[in-house]
Structure 1
Amino acid sequence: MGKRWWTNDWLLQLSVAVGYGLLYLVIHPYSSSHWPIHAGVRLACLLLVPYRFWPALLLGEAVPNGYEAFQCLDSLGPTWVAIKSIPPFAVAMPIVWACRTWMPPLPAKNLVDIKALLVCGLLVSIGGMIYSTAAHAVELHPSTPFALISAVTFFLGPYLAILSVVPWVLMAKLDYREGHLREQIGQILSSRLFLDTVALLVPTFAVLTWMSVAGNDQVKQIAPLAMFLPMAWLTLKHGWRAAAVAGPLAIACISLEISIYDDFDTKTFAIQTFLAIGVSCLFALGARISVQLVQEEKERNSAVSVQRLARQSLQLSEQRMRQTSQALEYLAGTLHITNGRLLDQMRRIVPNIESHAFYKQAVATQNQVYRLAESMHPVAWRERGLPAALNETIARALDEAGIAYRCEINGRGFTRLAPAVLTATYRTACEAVVYVTSRLACTRVNLMLRGGETHGKRWVVLRVEGVLEETGVASAVYHSDERKRLGAKLGASMLDIPEMRDHVHIFDGLLHLRMPAGHLQITALLHDAMQEEQRPELRSAPPLRLWVK
């Protein structure tokens, strides 16, 4: 089997030369001295194409460039033709090579050094200015003031063209993923940057361009400058990509107007200068904002990871407590059986063994083990779910403490909530009950639980209200021992309000404390995080990193 053509180095070099030459010929009619698009294409190729293809690119530009220069031999002379026959590619090659060696604009994959990119563009534009100024000097022999303006013009045109083309090429190269073109197009069309560009930037630029053409002299001066307002707004919102989208559009609008009407004077020169400085500053500002946005996204992802880890730790701790509770219940049952057998045997030796201190101590130990197991993980919760635990476990503990209790549960979706959310709801209810009953004047506790679903996201609201009555202080003092044991019975950690708020925040929730007349209310909102964790992640391109020194 013979080699395929793209594996043959000579054919590949020839293809690159022919392709670049055709591209040069296609864009040449749209280029002008005020906006030479081929200058931006040239720098983009030098930045992205490997060194081994540079001779082919040089040949691809030398042939059409030399042909165009040779046509002016009779009118401009052999000296001008000799200078113009040198392809601008040859002038830019050593500059870009030096930049890629000592200050690379693309130091690594998905890493862009904006400072190096702007410096490289400036140096290439300066090299092109020297090249064009030398040819212009041979052509017309202008006076010194006019030569200075012409030299700056030869710098501004290529630099604006570089700012127009290179950012788009870089975005396409950095975002391209083989085999995912349709998905990428869908992401671009649905992105906020695209929507803001279509809805705000394009209509604004169209209106301002029309005003700069049809308006009076004052409007023609103000309209191009006003283009920076939407550009700056988009840059502040979206970072360097907004500057990469808006900058070329603004440059194209102004440059095409200059090319069509051939209206180049000192005012146009000032507008181009302001445009070059403004777009460069927006690039630097956008790069810095992009770095901040990436950092904020990392912090947000880190916070989400911490939340996910906290939820998992909470659920694992609850599972261990449940296993320990079951083990204690098994131990209490074993003690009950052992005590029963000992009682049967000792009845033959010691009469009235039930009144003996040893037997009472054994029974007390057994009951303590049962209570410990119940406080760690109630049987009602384990067997019949969260509503049973709220209606039975908390009610029994409050009744023993002499506090009235009413529980109201409504809504839907409790069975579909994640186990971690149910765990957090019960523990929050216990902590809130212990907190409100720490007031001696609390004589009654009302608990309300409501579940629901909004826009496909499930949630649960818990409200614990303690009724404060001064007449109940005497009863509270009478049941003070049971009130002190209330936290241990419910397995509460005696958290205060900030700690409870942090506990609820793990589930993207909120907690509020209100103290209306005669009441103490704690309201907590928790969201079900399982849906977000189970949502499939979109396959996206590696994040673009920006390096701004």
Structure 2
Amino acid sequence: MGKVFQRNEWLAQIGVAVGYALLYLATSPISTSHWPIHAGLRFACLLLFPYRYWTALLIGEAVSNGYEVYTCLDTLGLAWVLVRAIPPILPTMPVVWWCRTKMPPFPAKHVVDIKALIICILLSSAAGMIYSTAAYPLLPDAVRPSLPIAVAAIGFFLGPYLAILSVVPWAVMAKLDYRPGQLREQGRRILASKLFLDTIALLVPAVVILSWLGAVGKDQQVKEVASVAMFLPMAWLTLKHGWRAAAVSSTLAITVFSLSISILGDFDSVTYVTQVCLAICATSLFALGARISAQLIQEQKERLSAMNVQRLARQTMQAGELRMRKTSQALEYLAGTLHVNNSRLLEQMRRIVPNIESHAFYKQAVATQTQVYRLAESMHPVAWRDRGLPAALNETVARALDEAGIAYRCEITGRGFTRMAPSVLTATYRVICEAIVYATSRLACNRVRLVLRGGETHGRRWVVLRVEGVLEDTGVANAVFYSEERQRLAAKLGASTLELPELRDHVSIFDGVLHMRTPRDKLRLTAMLHDVPQEAQMSATTSAPLRLWVK
């Protein structure tokens, strides 16, 4: 077993070395001094590969880099070739090791620290600058540019820095998002994402056109305006989508600019200025994107928390309703038992006591039985339990209002009631009862109209209710006459006499809203409740963990 593992490990080491060397040589045609794409590949490999593969990376770069510099022996001289034959990965390794040890860019498996990543990129670019600056004076005078060594050092820093910024973010996103066996799903998700659509529709055309104007423009002001205007769509995209948008837009801008310089061969002092602007703006966008991403994550956490709170409130409400239903059934059974016992007692007492119905103890027994029935009906109406919500509204509510001397009219339209979740129907009935009690608390209210409508929009079911109480001065006398029954109306309907703020909170559990209007001689309460799709319930409980963390 140990021999098999050792053989597989050696094969992996050889594969990493050969693969990295081939990739190094394949990108050589597009790698230039102002955009050394090798620096981005080198940094990405050192950042993502385990330490045990670093030796293979060193060997792979030593071979490929030695082959490249050897071809320059006749033109650039032996001294420069000997220095440049040292693999550039060698001075970068200690920097990346220190960053991964002291301030890791990946604190966890699917977590990235943007600030630590940018610092690591800066230090690695500085290491590459020192390496290239050491070899710069060894160039022959005939091929060495007429630039001071300080200016050349700035270019040696900017080139690797921009190259790393154009490569590494993609490797980081791949590390964060990669899931074994889900490549197709992830590909479809990327193509359908808003970031991809905004990039294709806005960013790509804008960056290409502005980069072309900056490269071919003869007027200096046109170049400067084009360079500055390039960052407007980049900033907009970053503000909308976070650091991933900064990575995509910065990569696109750097790549288009570098390729245009390589094709046109127009590398002058203005190019240095543009590189500095690119480096500063790209870094700023990354920092801004990290902050935006942190805010987006916080908002997502708050949304998930609110969804979980709503889900818990719905479950609690439905559990409470089930308990009330069972209690109502138990009370009905108790009332039935009392009725049977009272009937038996009445038959037995009639033989001994004539006119037993007029005695106080019998009246008390009958009153107790009636109160138990009323209590059971207020907790969970029999009509609702047997024939559904429309029956409860047309029978239970109508009977309670009629006993209180209040005229009542109920209109039910629409569709979809039978397919709604039980918790939504429960909340609808309770809100209607609370709204009726709230409207009839005004003495002038002597008529109530209820309109209930169900429907479905974009696959999501909803229900709208409107309780309208008609206020008339002539109804005050009627309210005084039925004052006792009106006081018992809340108990009959099982209402808790909630105020408007409490009613709004109750409705908001189902993503609903509640409004109160007081037109002339009327008090109107309107509420809308949404049904909860099954997929929304599942997403609230099984939502994927957040995979981004920034400092």
Q: TM-score range by the shorter chain?
A: over 0.9
Q: Partner residue of 1:452?
A: 455
> For residues 74 and 214 of structure 1, do their structure 2 counterparts lie closer, same or farther at Cα, with a shift above 3 Å needed?
closer
Q: Secondary structure at the match of 1:470?
A: coil
Looking at structure 1, the residues matched to 544 and 45 of structure 2 have their Cα atoms a distance apart, in angstroms, of 22
> For residues 541 and 387 of structure 1, do their structure 2 counterparts lie closer, same or farther at Cα, with a shift above 3 Å needed?
closer
Q: Shift of residue 422 of structure 1?
A: 0.7
* 8 A contact 2:203–2:234 mirrored in 1: yes
Q: Shift of residue 90 of structure 1?
A: 0.6
Q: Shift of residue 488 of structure 1?
A: 0.5
Q: Partner residue of 2:211?
A: 209
Looking at structure 1, the residues matched to 247 and 388 of structure 2 have their Cα atoms a distance apart, in angstroms, of 56
* 8 A contact 1:235–1:282 mirrored in 2: yes
2:285 to 275, 279, 282: 282
Looking at structure 2, the residues matched to 542 and 475 of structure 1 have their Cα atoms a distance apart, in angstroms, of 61
The aligned runs of 1:138-217 (5 Å cut-off) are 138-140=138-140, 146-217=148-219
* 8 A contact 1:457–1:531 mirrored in 2: no
* 8 A contact 1:407–1:448 mirrored in 2: yes
Q: Secondary structure at the match of 1:466?
A: strand
* 8 A contact 1:421–1:507 mirrored in 2: yes
Q: Partner residue of 2:377?
A: 374
Q: Secondary structure at the match of 2:32?
A: coil
Q: Secondary structure at the match of 2:139?
A: helix
Q: Secondary structure at the match of 2:511?
A: coil
Q: Secondary structure at the match of 2:469?
A: strand
Q: Shift of residue 530 of structure 1?
A: 3.9
Amino acid at match of 2:396: T
* 8 A contact 2:431–2:503 mirrored in 1: yes
* 8 A contact 1:224–1:254 mirrored in 2: no
> For residues 538 and 397 of structure 1, do their structure 2 counterparts lie closer, same or farther at Cα, with a shift above 3 Å needed?
closer
* 8 A contact 1:380–1:388 mirrored in 2: yes
Q: Secondary structure at the match of 2:495?
A: coil
Looking at structure 1, the residues matched to 61 and 543 of structure 2 have their Cα atoms a distance apart, in angstroms, of 37
Looking at structure 2, the residues matched to 6 and 527 of structure 1 have their Cα atoms a distance apart, in angstroms, of 61
1:462 matches 2:465: yes
Q: Shift of residue 532 of structure 1?
A: 3.9
Q: Shift of residue 537 of structure 1?
A: 8.9
Which deviations, in whole Å up to 9, do the C-alpha atoms of 1:411-451 show, x marking residues without a partner? 11111111111101110010000000000000100001111
- Segments of 5+ residues of structure 2 without an aligned counterpart are none
Amino acid at match of 1:56: A
* 8 A contact 2:80–2:135 mirrored in 1: yes
Q: Partner residue of 1:479?
A: 482
* 8 A contact 1:339–1:362 mirrored in 2: yes
Aligned residue pairs, count: 548
Q: Partner residue of 2:69?
A: 69
Q: Secondary structure at the match of 1:446?
A: strand
Q: Partner residue of 1:273?
A: 276
The aligned runs of 1:100-499 (5 Å cut-off) are 100-140=100-140, 146-217=148-219, 218-499=221-502
Looking at structure 2, the residues matched to 358 and 50 of structure 1 have their Cα atoms a distance apart, in angstroms, of 89
> For residues 496 and 39 of structure 1, do their structure 2 counterparts lie closer, same or farther at Cα, with a shift above 3 Å needed?
same
1:526 to 512, 520, 529: 529
Amino acid at match of 1:200: L
* 8 A contact 1:329–1:373 mirrored in 2: yes
Looking at structure 2, the residues matched to 522 and 283 of structure 1 have their Cα atoms a distance apart, in angstroms, of 50
Amino acid at match of 1:399: D
Q: Percent identity at matched positions?
A: 68
* 8 A contact 1:6–1:12 mirrored in 2: no
Q: Secondary structure at the match of 1:269?
A: helix
The aligned runs of 1:26-37 (5 Å cut-off) are 26-37=26-37
Looking at structure 2, the residues matched to 532 and 463 of structure 1 have their Cα atoms a distance apart, in angstroms, of 29
Looking at structure 1, the residues matched to 199 and 145 of structure 2 have their Cα atoms a distance apart, in angstroms, of 45
Q: Shift of residue 81 of structure 1?
A: 1.9
Q: Shift of residue 77 of structure 1?
A: 3.4
Amino acid at match of 2:96: V
Amino acid at match of 1:175: D
* 8 A contact 1:176–1:541 mirrored in 2: no
What's the C-alpha RMSD, in Å, of the aligned pairs?
Answer: 2.0
Amino acid at match of 1:276: A
Q: Secondary structure at the match of 2:441?
A: coil
> For residues 399 and 151 of structure 1, do their structure 2 counterparts lie closer, same or farther at Cα, with a shift above 3 Å needed?
same
Looking at structure 1, the residues matched to 421 and 549 of structure 2 have their Cα atoms a distance apart, in angstroms, of 39
> For residues 294 and 139 of structure 1, do their structure 2 counterparts lie closer, same or farther at Cα, with a shift above 3 Å needed?
same
* 8 A contact 1:434–1:492 mirrored in 2: yes
Q: Shift of residue 62 of structure 1?
A: 0.7
Amino acid at match of 2:332: E
* 8 A contact 2:460–2:533 mirrored in 1: no
Looking at structure 2, the residues matched to 147 and 232 of structure 1 have their Cα atoms a distance apart, in angstroms, of 34
Looking at structure 2, the residues matched to 423 and 155 of structure 1 have their Cα atoms a distance apart, in angstroms, of 68
Q: Shift of residue 334 of structure 1?
A: 0.5
* 8 A contact 1:5–1:12 mirrored in 2: no
* 8 A contact 2:245–2:289 mirrored in 1: yes
Which deviations, in whole Å up to 9, do the C-alpha atoms of 1:470-529 show, x marking residues without a partner? 111111111111111110010000001111111011111111100000000000101111
Query: TM-score, normalization: structure 1?
Result: 0.96
Which deviations, in whole Å up to 9, do the C-alpha atoms of 1:188-217 show, x marking residues without a partner? 000000000011111111221232234332
* 8 A contact 1:399–1:405 mirrored in 2: yes
Q: Secondary structure at the match of 2:527?
A: strand
Deviates more, 1:169-178 or 1:34-43: 169-178
> For residues 81 and 229 of structure 1, do their structure 2 counterparts lie closer, same or farther at Cα, with a shift above 3 Å needed?
same
Looking at structure 1, the residues matched to 215 and 372 of structure 2 have their Cα atoms a distance apart, in angstroms, of 90
* 8 A contact 1:110–1:542 mirrored in 2: no
Looking at structure 2, the residues matched to 6 and 463 of structure 1 have their Cα atoms a distance apart, in angstroms, of 76
Q: Shift of residue 147 of structure 1?
A: 1.2
Q: Shift of residue 22 of structure 1?
A: 0.6
Deviates more, 1:206-215 or 1:489-498: 206-215
Which deviations, in whole Å up to 9, do the C-alpha atoms of 1:103-131 show, x marking residues without a partner? 11112211111111111111111111111
Which deviations, in whole Å up to 9, do the C-alpha atoms of 1:390-416 show, x marking residues without a partner? 111111111111111111111111111
* 8 A contact 1:104–1:113 mirrored in 2: yes
Looking at structure 1, the residues matched to 543 and 86 of structure 2 have their Cα atoms a distance apart, in angstroms, of 44
Which deviations, in whole Å up to 9, do the C-alpha atoms of 1:286-333 show, x marking residues without a partner? 011111111110110110011011111111111110110110011011
Amino acid at match of 2:117: L
Looking at structure 2, the residues matched to 73 and 418 of structure 1 have their Cα atoms a distance apart, in angstroms, of 79
Q: Shift of residue 6 of structure 1?
A: 9.0
Which deviations, in whole Å up to 9, do the C-alpha atoms of 1:84-110 show, x marking residues without a partner? 111101111111111111111112211
Q: Secondary structure at the match of 1:547?
A: coil
> For residues 93 and 509 of structure 1, do their structure 2 counterparts lie closer, same or farther at Cα, with a shift above 3 Å needed?
same
Looking at structure 1, the residues matched to 537 and 299 of structure 2 have their Cα atoms a distance apart, in angstroms, of 23
